[in-house]
Chains A and B, each alone.
Chain A
Amino acid sequence: EAQVTQNPRYLITVTGKKLTVTCSQNMNHEYMSWYRQDPGLGLRQIYYSMNVEVTDKGDVPEGYKVSRKEKRNFPLILESPSPNQTSLYFCASSFRQGWSYNEQFFGPGTRLTVL
């Protein structure tokens, strides 16, 4: 089954404790992206990757890191989480972006709470 998977689905942590949210897709997509969703603010892009070893900042990259060592994986790293990073996080993937837009597939989401 073609899908985007995220782990964990739910996480409660404390301020300053490094964490990683994994994202994996099995559709051979070049493009992957991370979003956070907050009430009243919609989905905002954190980081995106056009292909392996190519990553770039989105609208709200502060406090986050990503890596793209393999095509299928795009982990989101919070080196020192803070309470304002409490949010619902979505990973998404698609074939190349560009003028011929390709449907972006979203993962099921990761609910993160930072105490």
Chain B
Amino acid sequence: GESVGLHLPTLSVQEGDNSIINCAYSNSASDYFIWYKQESGKGPQFIIDIRSNMDKRQGQRVTVLLNKTVKHLSLQIAATQPGDSAVYFCAEISGANSKLTFGKGITLSVRP
């Protein structure tokens, strides 16, 4: 069936380095892709999104890349800070009712 998943369960980076979090998806009909950040004890928080007709979108310190050929989504965080430590989820929107499907999540740990 269609699914959204993540390659790695955990990622550890040095403070100040760039982080790259990857996600594979299987539904080629998805319209939107979103990255969420979830800090301990809190609900997911929207970071950035990208439409299926785009291949790159930049925000503040974050960039999302979409490669539809290989059905791959990535989140790049520049100059990673301790406050970036969290679980990150990719999610996709598809279907007539715009169903939101989440991946399983990856933990980003920032080393001081």
Contact = CB atoms under 8 A, between A and B. Distances in A.
Given A40-B104, A42-B102, A42-B104, A101 B44 contact: no
Interface of A: 4, 33, 35, 40-45, 48, 50, 56, 58-59, 90, 92, 97-99, 101, 103-109
Q: Looking at B45, B49, B102, which has the most chain A CB atoms within 10 Å of its CB?
A: B102
Interface of B: 31-32, 34, 41-46, 49, 51, 89, 93, 97-105
Nearest to A33: B100
Nearest to A9: B41
B97 A90 contact: no
Given A42-B103, A97-B93, 20 more contacts: A4-B43, A35-B102, A42-B104, A42-B105, A43-B89, A45-B99, A45-B100, A48-B97, A97-B100, A98-B98, A99-B98, A101-B31, A101-B32, A101-B34, A101-B49, A101-B51, A103-B46, A103-B49, A108-B41, A109-B43
